[in-house]
Structure 1
Amino acid sequence: MGIIAIGAGIAIGLAALGIGIGQGFGLRGGLEGISRQPEASGIIRTTMIVGMAIMETIGVLAFVIAIMLVSKL
């Protein structure tokens, strides 16, 4: 029974770690692009926000999976 809770915690933890790393790289790339081409900042910013929102859906999916695992207890 306890192993399911550990699995749910690991699922959330790894998802959060991956999301944090991915968003860090995405933000860095977006800021580098804006600093090189300030006139394209609107397009770069919009694309960056959409990409980060897609990354956040991974966190929501991991949360749903963790809830489903814990409900098996």
Structure 2
Amino acid sequence: MSAALEMVNLAAEKGVTGNLGSVGYGLAAIGPGIGVGIVFGNGTQALARQPEAAGLIRQNQILGFAFCEALALIGIVMGFIFRS
């Protein structure tokens, strides 16, 4: 019997339920979190350097935020699609 199967059986005996998709999503949420921080951090720096370009900078911030959050939503959906 493999070590992974033994761990699953031990967890089932102890009453732990769930799948690895939730752990995978937890790890995958780190990337979009860092991405959102980078988008807004750099956007704030850009606004401080060129306040006259506020409209364009804000538009690009919102677009970057949407892309980062789309990755997070795709990650949570994958946990439900590929159940173990």
Band the TM-score falls in, shorter-chain normalisation:
0.7 to 0.9
Determine if the alignment matches structure 1 residue 23 to structure 2 residue 36. Answer: yes
Q: Which residue of 1 aligns with 2:19?
A: 5
Consecutive unaligned residues in structure 2, runs of 5 or more: 9-17
Q: Which residue of 2 aligns with 1:48?
A: 61
Secondary structure of the residue that 1:9 maps to in structure 2?
A: helix
Deviations 1:1-38 (A, max 9, x none): 96x712x0122112211111111011110000000000
Between the two proteins, what is the percent identity of the paired residues?
Answer: 33
- Greater relative contact order (Cα 8 A, min sep 6): structure 1 or 2? 1
What CA distance in whole angstroms lies between the structure 2 residues aligned with 1:56 and 1:62?
A: 10
The structure that is helix-richer by fraction is: 1
Deviating beyond 4 angstroms after TM superposition, the runs of 4 or more aligned structure 1 residues are none
Which structure has the bigger radius of gyration? 2
Consecutive unaligned residues in structure 1, runs of 5 or more: none
Q: Which residue of 2 aligns with 1:64?
A: 77
Q: Which residue of 1 aligns with 2:15?
A: none
Provide the alpha-carbon RMSD of the alignment. Answer: 1.9
Q: How many residues align?
A: 69
Q: 2:47 aligns with which of 34, 39, 42?
A: 34
